[in-house]
Amino acid sequence: MSFLHKVRQELEIKSFPKKVELKNLTRPLSLVQFIKSKNGIIGEFKRATPVCKFKLSLSPAEVSLAYQKANFSAVSVVVDENYFLTGEKDLMEIRRAVSLPVLKKGFFIHPHEVVEARNAGADSILLIAGLLGGERLSLMLEVCRRLEMEPVVEVSSVIEVDEIAGLPIKVVGVNNRNLHDLSVDLRRGQKVLEQVLQRKIGEVRIVESGLKTPSDIRFFKQNGADGFLIGSIFMEAEDLDSTIKYLLGGLSA
């Protein structure tokens, strides 16, 4: 059974409240504007991945403040206790610490989860095309529109690019990771990005997963990426500021 199929099975039996009231009435920060006006990097916080755990010496607030100091465009928080060991309280701590947009990542399938994300302080939410499918994705996009949120719609294959074409999407995330077997292939990601650009989907396009060197960033920047979502290398870093400075070299060349 693939990882994505396993996650989908787990979510299908999850119970959701009948109603979630919107309590956060402030206007979300625009992820598009911050990607365009700052360096385009979305720094991520998480305590683990499905294949490893991180030994973190910094708090969520300290990590996010380092990102903000480095002129990052946003902070991503993977809110998933099962596979990423990261919870809603981490997102809320980060929201209090920084003035950047906060992206809530995870595996979301119900419209109520968009409202819950906004109530927790998230400005944007990750919508995985391969998990949602066309009809459910359209519904989630409509809820985001009503809340004035700019979600990241994630694709990891050319087939998924076909499926999202024509939808009202501002931010496309190209994932170099295959969510079925969790393998990472930057060349496959580049082909997916090429199709997104050719079909003119989205206003900004970000690349996710497997970005570990300045040359990785440079490669995708030269191939049309507007932004980069980077997490694991920062979570693994013994010296976060030095690692950030190292990767920023890919933007200046």
For residue range 224-241, what is the model confidence (pLDDT) as tens digits?
Answer: 999 999 999 999 999 999
C-alpha dihedral (222, 195, 180, 42), degrees to nearest 10? 40
CA atoms of 31 and 171, how far apart (whole Å): 8
CA–CA distance, 115 with 109 (Å, rounded to integer): 12
The pLDDT > 70 percentage for the chain reads 100
The model's confidence at residue 250, banded by pLDDT at 50, 70 and 90, is: confident
- Cα 221 from Cα 85, distance rounded (Å): 31
The DSSP bridge partners found for residue 177 are: 184
The yes-or-no verdict on residue 120 having pLDDT over 80 is yes
Residue 15, pLDDT score: 85
- The b/e string for 107-142 (b: 16+ C-beta within 10 A; e otherwise) is bbbbbebbbbbbebbbbbbbbbbbbbeeebbeebbe
Backbone angles phi, psi at 216, to 5 degrees: -65, -45
Q: How confident is the model at residue 253 (pLDDT cuts 50, 70, 90)?
A: low
How far is the CA of 183 from the CAs of 2, 178, 227, in angstroms? 11, 5, 21
Paired sense of beta strands 48-49 and 52-53, if any? antiparallel
pTM of this structure: 0.96
From the list 173, 169, 191, 150, the residue with the least C-alpha distance to 231 is 173
Question: Among 186, 225, 185, 184, which Cα is nearest to 206's?
Answer: 225
Question: In whole angstroms, what is the distance from residue 5 CA to residue 17 CA?
Answer: 24
21-75 residue pLDDT tens:
999 999 999 999 999 999 999 999 999 999 899 999 999 999 999 999 999 999 9
CATH code 3.20.20.70 for 3-14+23-252: yes
* pLDDT level of residue 102 (50, 70, 90 thresholds): very high
- pLDDT attached to residue 13: 87
